[in-house]
Structure 1
Amino acid sequence: MSDKQSVLGRVVRLSTTDIGALVERAGDPRAVLDRLVHDYTDAIADAERAVSTTLGTLRLLEQDHAEDVRADGEWGARARAVSRKADVLRAAGSDAAADTFDRLAKVALARQLRSEREAMAAEPAIAAQRDLVARLGAALDGMRTRLGELKSQHEGVRALSRTAAAVESVNVLDTTTELGRFEDKVRREEAKLAGQEVGASCLDSEFEQYERPESPGDTAEVEARLAALKATT
């Protein structure tokens, strides 16, 4: 198997891989997607090189074929011209000269035959190269699309990981966080409304700074958002 056929096999194999199933079965989806993005990127680079090389070979074959076809026509035309010359000479009684031109016509016909055969012999190779270029090109397009999807999926998994890590790092009952201080303030206000005795805390004065908007614009925005909240309850 040629290197280009091997590359095509790899590209086709990757392009038909059930990525969803691999990710679902994986203990570490992010690691699987990392590996797939790497493999797809490498395979695309290999396929691009194979397409470039195959195209170069195809262009040379096509040029040689075109040259053989052109030579076939030119040698045929020369053979006809020389043969006619031989006929004219023979009709004029110059048999020896006619024989010479007939031999030249045979030489031209032999060259025509060789060019014709070379052109015909090149056609299967040209067809095979064109087919390989088409298949590699189609597989390459598919791989590029799938790589884009993989990168999006990979970014999604990374985002989920970051979100999960962020959520795990925040304890709403921890009064050392801003959210924790807010929740503590809410609980104490609710306790006051219920008539429970709740001792004053330094958190009250600390949280007051978050109750004061930084600018008139902020004040308006806060008021608007509060109104919107009330409108939905």
Structure 2
Amino acid sequence: MAEKQSILGRIGQLARANINALLDRAEDPQKMLDQLVRDYTNSISEAEDAIAVTIGNLRLAEADHAEDLKEAEDWGRKAIAASDRAEQFRGAGDDANAQKFDDLAKVAISKQIAAESEAKSAEPMIESQNEVVDQLKDGLQTMHQKLDQLKSKRDSLVARQKSAHAQAQVQESMASINVLDPTSEISRYEEQIRREEAAVAGRAELQSSSIADQFAELEDASKNIEIEARLAALKGGNKEKPAIESGDSTIY
């Protein structure tokens, strides 16, 4: 039990340390979640290695236990064979050989007891290790389930983040449209065109005024010519008339 807690406890502490470190320096949620999956996967791999060593040691202990039981059985058979041989010699009146094989039976029984004792002393440890291995396997299965949940949660959160980012971009675009209304640009352009049209109209009006002034000057000149002509005609007609005296002045 202590070994199981030590293995999974150490792996759990490592995983939590990696998770806390990632959360502390999280800048890109997707990268953080991907790294979290990698770290948890590595933690599972380390747990699998540690559990594999534990299982390997258990299988060695079981093999040794089986070997001790087999050895005890072998020594038991040898003890029976030696005892039977001793009885045969004893029946034949050969006490010396009978004693010899009785002594061999005792040695075999001693070896049998030692092997049985070795096997029996290993049984509590083997039983305990089997419980530990079962618990480790269950814990490892739970870690795999957690990893699947983490991957599923990662995919869900990444999808939600992308959706939120897309919505944020749409909102920013809408905000930009509201702040920089394109119709206002059209209004400015329209005002610029109106000013250009007004300038053209002003130049046309100015040009029209200039032509009118020229015609007015021409009309004035014509009037002056007519006046001069009439004045000359008047003067020409006055030369034939006698002068009229009035006081000191003479009027024609």
TM-score, with length taken from structure 2:
0.58
- SS at 1:93 equivalent: coil
CA contact (8 A) 2:3 2:132 kept: no
Counterpart position of 1:154? 154
CA contact (8 A) 1:73 1:112 kept: yes
* CA offsets 1:13-72 (integer angstroms, 9 cap, x no match): 899xxxxxxx9xxx9994885675355323311210112111211111111111111111
Deviation at 1:3, TM superposition (A): 6.3
1:43-54, aligned counterparts within 5 Å? 43-54=43-54
Matched, 1:172 2:174: yes
Q: Which has the larger radius of gyration?
A: 2
CA contact (8 A) 2:37 2:151 kept: yes
CA contact (8 A) 1:10 1:43 kept: no
Q: In proportion to residue count, which structure has more helix?
A: 2
Deviation at 1:118, TM superposition (A): 0.8
Deviation at 1:9, TM superposition (A): 2.7
CA contact (8 A) 1:11 1:139 kept: no
Letter in 2 for 1:153: K
Q: Which runs of 4+ in 1 moved over 6 A?
A: 12-15
Deviation at 1:153, TM superposition (A): 0.8
- SS at 2:174 equivalent: coil
Counterpart position of 1:213? none
Deviation at 1:125, TM superposition (A): 1.7
Matched, 1:115 2:115: yes
In structure 2, list runs of 5 or more residues that go unmatched.
16-22, 190-252
Letter in 1 for 2:144: R
CA contact (8 A) 1:7 1:46 kept: no
1:16-31, aligned counterparts within 5 Å? 30=29
Looking at structure 2, the residues matched to 39 and 5 of structure 1 have their Cα atoms a distance apart, in angstroms, of 20
Counterpart position of 2:96? 96
Matched, 1:105 2:105: yes
* CA offsets 1:82-141 (integer angstroms, 9 cap, x no match): 101111211211111111110000110011011101111111121122111111111111
- SS at 2:137 equivalent: helix
Letter in 2 for 1:172: M
Aligned pairs, number: 173
In structure 1, list runs of 5 or more residues that go unmatched.
16-22, 176-180, 189-197, 202-233
Letter in 1 for 2:37: V
Looking at structure 2, the residues matched to 57 and 121 of structure 1 have their Cα atoms a distance apart, in angstroms, of 16
Deviation at 1:151, TM superposition (A): 1.3
TM-score, with length taken from structure 1:
0.62
User: With CA pairs under 8 Å and 6+ residues apart, which has the higher RCO, 1 or 2?
Assistant: 1
